[in-house]
Amino acid sequence: MHGYFETYLSVVVLFLLGGLIVGGGLLANRSLRPHRPTPEKLTTYECGVDPVGEGWAQSYVRYYVFAYLYVIFAVDAVFLFPWSTVFSARGYGSVTLGEMFVFLAFIAAGLAYAWKKGVLGWV
């Protein structure tokens, strides 16, 4: 049991050392940088355009749906690569093929639902 806690001690020491390095870098940055705030520097930056109006802006939910659809298909692609390596292994072919058909059925159902709701229309 004595050697068990020594491994955790080395991890804690490494985390502390990393924290000291990062904290030292941030402290050096703060102490060496010039600090001259002006009213122009303290205004909100909006792509070079002077800020007008309130900070509240309404955005369409459609953009979030596009992001969710992207995440779904990115997860699909991430799942396909390991599946292709396991599929070629001896004894796992039919099981992994069935799992992939179930997975693709869920993806197809989500895509059909999005299509039915008109989310995939760009206009």
User: Is the model's pLDDT at 123 over the cut of 70?
Assistant: no
Residue 24 confidence (pLDDT): 97
User: Is the model's pLDDT at 2 over the cut of 70?
Assistant: no
Dump the DSSP string for 46-111: BTTBPP-S-S-----HHHHHHHHHHHHHHHHHHHHHHHHHHHTSTT-HHHHHHHHHHHHHHHHHHH
How many CA atoms are closer than 13 Å to the CA of 51, on its beta-carbon side?
Answer: 11
DSSP structural state of residue 23: H
Residue 12 confidence (pLDDT): 92
What is the mean predicted confidence (pLDDT) over 12-39? 94
Residue with tokens 């491994």: 7
Amino acid identity of 32? L
pTM exceeds cut of 0.75: no
pLDDT digits (tens, 9 = 90+) for 62-116: 777 778 778 877 877 787 777 777 776 777 777 777 888 888 898 888 888 888 8
